[in-house]
Amino acid sequence: MDAPPPDGRPRPPLRLLPTGGAVQVNQPLPFGAGRNGRAAPSDLTETMGKVARGDKQAFSALYDALAPLVFGIVLKVVRDRAQSEEVAQEVMIDLWRQAARYRPDAGSVQTWAATIAHRRAVDRVRSAQAAADREHAQAAREHTTAFDEVAEQVETRLESEQVRRCLRGLTELQRQAVTLAYYQGLTYREVAEALRTPLPTIKTRMRDGLIRLRDCMGVTT
Amino acid sequence: MNHHTTDAHTLAAAYALGALDDDERKDFDAHLQTCEACRQEAAEFQATTARLAAAVAQPPPPGAKAQVMAAVDGVRQLPPRVPAAGAAPVLGGILRRRAVSLALAATVAAVALGGVAVWQTQNEQELEQQARQAQQQLDAVSAVLAAPDAQTVHGKAANGALTTVVSSEQRNQAVFTAANLPAPGAGKTYQLWLDHDGTMLPAGLIDHDGTVILAGNPADAGAVGLTLEPDGGSPQPTTDPLLLMALPA
Ligand SMILES: [Zn+2]
């Protein structure tokens, strides 16, 4: 017998929760071919095709390949572990539902899954915020006091050496704008409030920050 | 064109970071349909933010996979996105096909409905009727899972089955999913119950792993129960509950 999930509970202040002990091993998904002996993106595209035709075995393989990515980013944004488990499961079911709508020409399967997972996580966090009827200003104050800590922890907790290195290559404001939005689920308006920076500046920093990250990581589509 | 359109060209980064609110996101989605430059930029930025996601990957909780695999049994897949003309209702598509497809659909229904042997009859009209019911069941399950206010509760039954209830207050419906459910044994079935202030009302039968819509009125119920009952079910529980899951208030 389980207790109901803590839905509608006010979003806790910006604090990165420990996620299950120090010995936990992250398993970043490979984007290049064959890292850790896992399937390369092209193999996943083929798997997606089978999933789109209702192949449960292919979906089982897809689950194994994508669940760490999905659960990781959901947990990062939602923070509450029980809620994150629910959201991650909903995302995986959604990948099954939407499999036929995946278009390889629009990006890799990982990118598609990360986009859906991040969106669901953000939706959960924002609806929880709305339910708690939280004051915008209050949120901004909390973010302001915590963003230094967040930026610092984001760096030390990243498993991917390349991502860590590329984030370090951003200016302070670029890095804060990118990580507050993506890892904390803030809108660019909230980011602007949290960093006490004009809206157009934040938009621009997000853009040139992502351009720098893109080039540093050698991302192509 | 107008102020809004000019502004849209600058939003690909915020879009890829998930930093737009709902309305802005919809507007930008629409903008992407017509702006190749933004589409290209958004795709590259999304590939970039996906790396940020991969950098925080975490092993998913054990048991989650079994629940997801059981849940998708009852979830109908969406057709590929096609131009408007192709967007005929799926039900119509099913009814246009011949009896083979209908029997197939009925089999899917048999799985979704917990093993009721619905395809023994040969009458095509009945098959169509059953296919229609099957499709409605699957649509109902999908609708609950996709409801914006859907809430999920997980449980573990005394017999080891992993269970999930997804409920939507808006739709006043709930679905129940079981994974690793042991066979009920000859002449027996599992029965679901909705607890209304201590009164257990029958909410359907389930015989093996899969997903079913709970019959009744989940909005007023405080919990979902599961018992082992004689074939065909009972008006009231006759055995101790294997599971009692509190529903979200
Ligand atoms: Zn544009």
pLDDT tens digits for range B67-82: 999 999 888 898 886 5
Percent of chain B with pLDDT over 90: 25
**Range from A55-69, B89-103, B147-161 that averages highest in pLDDT:** A55-69
pLDDT band at B205 (very low <50, low <70, confident <90, very high): confident
Instruction: Determine, yes or no, domain membership for B184.
Output: yes
Kindly state whether residues B134 and B155 are assigned to the same domain. no
Identity of the residue in B65, B243, B249 whose CB atom sits nearest the CB atom of A63: B65
Calculate how close chain B gets to A5, using CA atoms only, in Å. 6
Q: Which carries the bigger pLDDT value, residue A178 or residue B196? A: A178
Residue A69: list chain B partners with CB under 8 A: 50, 53-54, 57
Mean model confidence pLDDT for chain B: 75
Residues of A in contact with B81 (CB under 8 A): 101
For A191, name the nearest residue in chain B, comparing CA atoms only.
B19
Give the pLDDT confidence score for residue A30 in this predicted structure.
Answer: 36
The average pLDDT across A32-58 equals: 73
| Confidence category of residue B207, pLDDT binned at 50, 70, 90 | confident
List the domains of chain A with CATH numbers. Answer: 16-129 (1.10.1740.10), 156-217 (1.10.10.10)
Predicted local confidence at residue A171, as pLDDT? 96
Q: Report the C-alpha gap between B130 and B160 in whole angstroms.
A: 32
The verdict on a CB contact (< 8 Å) between B78 and A24 is: no
Q: d(Cα B146, Cα B175) in Å, to the nearest integer?
A: 12
Has residue A88 got a pLDDT over 90? Answer: yes
- Angstrom distance (rounded) from CA A154 to CA B232: 56
Q: Which residue has the higher pLDDT, B167 or B192?
A: B192
Asked whether residue B61 falls in the same domain as residue B136, the answer is yes
B72 lies in the same domain as B138: yes
Number of domains in chain B: 2
CA geometry: angle A51, A65, B52, nearest 5 deg: 120
Same domain, B156 and B139: no
In a domain, B100, yes or no: yes
Q: Residue A139: what pLDDT?
A: 54
The reply to whether B113 and B222 lie within a common domain is no
Q: What letter does residue A69 receive in the DSSP assignment?
A: H
Lowest model confidence (mean pLDDT) among A30-39, A40-49, B55-64, B166-175:
A30-39
Ligand 1 mean position, distance from CA B22 (Å):
18
Q: Are A89 and B75 in contact (CB under 8 A)?
A: no
ipTM of model over 0.90: no
The residue-averaged pLDDT of A63-92 equals: 95
Does B195 map to a domain? yes
Q: What is the mean pLDDT of chain A?
A: 77
Task: Nearest by CB to A191, from B12, B19, B61: name it.
Answer: B19
Chain B's closest residue to A162, CA to CA, is: B55
Q: Which residues of B72-106 are buried (b: 16+ CB within 10 A; e: fewer)?
A: bbbbbbbeeeeeeeeeeeeeeebeeeeeeebbebb
Domain carrying residue B200: 151-246
Instruction: Based on the fold, state whether residues B119 and B42 are members of the same structural domain.
Output: yes
Pick the residue of A214, A216, A220 with the most B CBs within 10 A to test the interface with B by mutation. A214
d(CA A59, CA A47): 8
Placement of tokens 């947990």 in the chain: A75
Which of B124, B145, B166 is at the close of a domain?
B145
Q: What is the pTM of this model?
A: 0.56
Distance from the alpha carbon of residue B7 to the mean position of ligand 1, in angstroms: 9
In this structure, the answer to whether residues B137 and B162 fall within a common structural domain is no
What six digits make up the tokens of B192? Answer: 């679901």
> Is B236 inside any structural domain?
yes
Query: What mean pLDDT comes out for the span A20-44?
Result: 42
- State how far the Cα of A19 lies from the Cα of A155, in Å rounded to an integer: 16
**B39 Cα–ligand 1 center, Å:** 7
Whose tokens are 């760490």? That residue is A68
Q: Which of B17, B46, B55 minimises the CB distance to A159?
A: B55
Both structure tokens of A163: 């991502």
Chain A residues whose CB is inside 8 A of the B26 CB are none
Residues in CB range of A218: below 8 A, 6 or more apart: none
Q: What is the pLDDT of residue B201?
A: 84
Q: Comparing B147 with A97, which gets the higher pLDDT? A: A97
* pLDDT given at position B133: 64
List, for residues A9-22, the tens digit of each pLDDT value.
333 333 333 333 33
Q: Which residue has the higher pLDDT, B159 or B70?
A: B70
Looking at the structure, tell me whether residues B58 and B16 fall in a common domain: yes
Do B74 and B168 sit in the same domain of this protein? no
Residue B249 pLDDT class (50, 70, 90 cuts)? low
Domain-terminating residue out of B92, B126, B145: B145
CA of B8 to the centre of ligand 1 (A): 6
pLDDT: which is higher, A200 or B161: A200
More confidently predicted of B80 and A201:
A201
Q: Which of A4, A203, A66, A139 is nearest to B53 (CA)?
A: A66
Judge whether residue B89 has pLDDT over 60: no
Nearest CA in chain B to A154: B56
- Chain B contact probe: residue of A23, A187, A189 with most B CBs at under 10 A: A187
- What's the pLDDT band for B163 if we cut at 50, 70, 90? confident
The answer, yes or no, to whether residue B116 has pLDDT greater than 90, is no
Three-state SS for B156? strand
Interface test with chain A among B40, B48, B77, B142, by most A beta carbons within 10 Å:
B48
Ligand 1 centroid, distance to A38 Cα (angstroms) = 36
Residues B71 and B186 in one domain: no
Is position B3 within any domain?
Answer: no
Structural domain includes residue B219: yes
C-alpha span between A138 and A187 (Å, rounded)? 15
Residue B166 placed within a domain: yes
The pLDDT tens digits of the residues spanning A135-181 come to 554 554 455 444 444 444 444 456 578 898 999 999 999 999 999 99
Using the 3D structure, point to which of B120, B145, B170 is the last residue of a domain.
Answer: B145
Whether pLDDT at A52 is above 80: yes
By three-state DSSP, how is residue B60 classified? coil
Ion ligand 1 neighbours (CB, 5 A) are: B 9, 35, 38
Q: What is the mean pLDDT of residues B202-224?
A: 81
B140 and B156 inside one domain: no
What percentage of chain A exceeds 90 in pLDDT? 60
Q: Is residue B1 part of a domain?
A: no
The type of residue at B62 is: P
Please report which confidence band the pLDDT of residue B172 belongs to, taking 50, 70 and 90 as the band edges: confident
Is the pLDDT at B50 greater than 60, yes or no? yes
Q: Does residue B170 sit in the same domain as residue B221?
A: yes
